[in-house]
Amino acid sequence: MTTEKSEVWVTGIGLVSSLGEGLETHWEQLTCGKPPLASVNNTDQAPYPVHPIVDFDISAQIPKRSDQRQMGQWQHLGTYTAGLALADAGIAQDAELLAATNMIVAAGGGERDIEVDSAIMDELDASDNPGERLNASLMSELRPTLFLAQLSNLMAGNISIVHGVTDSSRTFMGEEMAGVSAIETAVAQIQKGQGELFLVGGAYIAERGDMTMLMALGNALWEGEHGPVWSREGSDGGMIMGSAGAFLVLESAEHAQARGIRPYARIKQVVSGRCNRQAGAARKSADELLEKVSAQLPQGQLPVLSGCCGIEPQLSEEHEFLDGLANLGIDPAIRGVTTILGNTMEAQFPVNVALASLSVSKGAFFDPFDDSGVEQEYGGNLDRILISSWGHWRGESLALIDTPDGPLRGTA
């Protein structure tokens, strides 16, 4: 095995969020000279605001109705977004390339049938024999397709069936860190020659009562008005969940060059760590990660995308960590992505890599996402972006997305 590392290029991006569909839509709204207007639904999961997914034309990427019927909205979104990424990379419909495409999907589970669950809970509460009642209700109310729509690995399964991706297929779980590990693993595999072509990403739907319930158990949700994530510092904090699908085609530079596709950006480094989240532990974990990437960071202004979820105290700890970059002579221009898109959970890190790659390909950064004063203007050329993504419960990560040699996507 060669010890020489291949470069990892981002050669395809599929992105659908509460802001819209496609890279250009996101670029326009995030560089319009004023804070972008977030799309917020205050009623669907009241009292918790959420960012709803935009309408997307399912049949444009999932043409067969028989396939559409086998999925819920979460799988629709992931399968749809994966299709956008494959098309963007020039892989869609190319049987030979699809058969050589490895897949790592970051997944939670599909949505439960809220109406069925609600009816069963009310019934069981009133029943003298809830055990037998539950069996009878489940046998009569559940549908076979619902199980398949809930299975975590069936997002990958549907991508194989609908789009024909058939090399390896792995599904990682574990909330935000599943997205980090998926991309970190694909990068490591490409760098060491364990595959040249990967489809990696995830999706999350915020408008679902089962996930609202899970997050409410830990009082992890923000109640009240939507506002900049940084404005929650010093309060009890809380997340506003966001809907998004983000898939990336990652490719070795040699493979991309051989088939003549230009990259948006290069993934220089992804590093992750963990701690028990005792006070100060996440900051320490992130500082250790920073030591692994600091050699790649220049002095002066540095654009940073942060996935800070809004829960305290990790919000304040992440902010302190980013301010601490000053110790390295770095002046971070921070963008709190969750202010605009919410916490998109398994999709969060893939979304951040997609946005960073877009920005690198444009050679320019996004305008500040809010007027909180935390987010500075960024002027001048851009050749690298630091991503800071922490899990809401566990896990910390950093990534560096930069500019490879040679012409980029969208340039002459």
Partner 1 sequence: MSQSLKDHLGRPVVVVTGIGVVTSLGEGKEDNWRNLTSGVSGVRRISRFPTAGLRTQIAGLIDWQGDGPYCSPLHSLALARKSASEAIAQSAIGTRGSFPGPLFLAVSPAETKWDQRMEIYRGADGAGRSGYERLIKNAAEGEYDHYYSLFQFGSIAEHLADEFGSKGQPISLTTACASGASSMQLGVEAIRRGDTDAALCIGTDGEICEEMVVRFTLLSALSTQNDDPPGASKPFSRSRDGFVMAEGSATLVLESYDAAKARGAKILGVVRGTGERADTFHRTRSKPDGSAIIETITRSMTDAGMSPDDIDCINAHGTSTPENDKMEYLALSEALGGELGNTPISSNKSMIGHTLSAAGAIESAISLLTINAGVIPPTINCIEQDPNILMDVVPNVKRDQEVNVVMSNSFGFGGQNVCLIFSAEPE
- Range 85-124, binding partner 1 (CB under 8 A): 103, 107-109, 114-115, 117-122, 124
Of the residues 68, 73, 168, 316, which one makes contact with partner 1 according to CB under 8 A: 168
Identified binder of partner 1 from the candidate list 8, 15, 62, 154, rule CB under 8 A: 154
Structure tokens at 256: 């991309």
Closest CA to 390 of 277, 258, 266, 244: 277
Please report, as residue ranges, which positions from 305 to 364 form the binding site for partner 1 (by CB under 8 A).
none
Interatomic CA distance for residues 76 and 331, integer angstroms: 40
Is 201 strand, coil or helix? strand
Task: Give the one residue of 87, 151, 293, 364 binding partner 1; rule: CB under 8 A.
Answer: 151
Cis omega (within 30 of 0) for bond into 47? yes
| Amino acid present at 178 | A
- CB distance 247 to 81 below 8 Å: yes
For the CB of residue 131, give the shortest distance to partner 1 in the complex, in Å.
4
Contact positions with partner 1 (CB under 8 A) in 121-140: 121-122, 124-125, 130-132, 134-136, 138-139
Q: In what order do the strands lie in the sheet with 244-252?
A: 102-106, 197-204, 244-252, 8-17, 265-273, 396-402, 384-390, 300-306, 330-336
Of 76, 391, 404, 408, the residue at the interface with partner 1 (CB under 8 A) is 391
Per the DSSP assignment, residues forming a β-bridge with 246 are 15, 202
Buried b (16+ CB within 10 A) or exposed e, 220-251: bbbeeebbbbbbbbeeebbbbbbbbbbbbbbb
If the CB atoms of residues 188 and 326 are measured against partner 1, the closer one turns out to be: 188
How many residues touch partner 1 under the rule CB under 8 A: the total is 83
Residues forming a β-bridge with 248: 13, 200
**Cβ closest to partner 1, residue 25 vs residue 194:** 194
Taking the complex as a whole, the smallest distance from the CB of residue 275 to partner 1 amounts, in Å, to: 10
Residue 100 Cβ vs partner 1, minimum distance, rounded to whole Å:
11
Cβ-based nearer residue to partner 1, 53 or 180: 180
Tell me, residue by residue from 244 to 283, as one string, x for binding to partner 1 by CB under 8 A and - for no binding. Answer: ----------------------------xxx-x-------
Please answer whether residues 106 and 170 qualify as being in contact, where contact means their C-beta atoms are separated by less than 8 angstroms.
no
Q: Which of 59, 219, 235, 296 binds partner 1 (CB under 8 A)?
A: 219
The 3-state secondary structure of 94-120 reads: CHHHHHCCEEEEECCCCCCCHHHHHHH
Residue from 7, 167, 312, 320 in contact with partner 1 (CB under 8 A): 167
Residues of this chain, 57-76, that bind partner 1 according to CB under 8 A:
70
Choose between 109 and 227: whose C-beta lies nearer to partner 1. 109
Kindly state whether residue 297 participates in binding partner 1, applying the rule CB under 8 A. no
- x/- string (CB under 8 A) for partner 1, residues 170-209? xxxxxx-xx-xx--xx--xx--x-x--------------x
- Distance, in Å, from the CA atom of 205 to the CA atom of 295, rounded to the nearest integer, reads 37
Q: Which residue has the tokens 């860190």?
A: 177
Cβ 283 to partner 1 shortest distance, Å: 17
Q: Supply the DSSP symbol for 296.
A: G
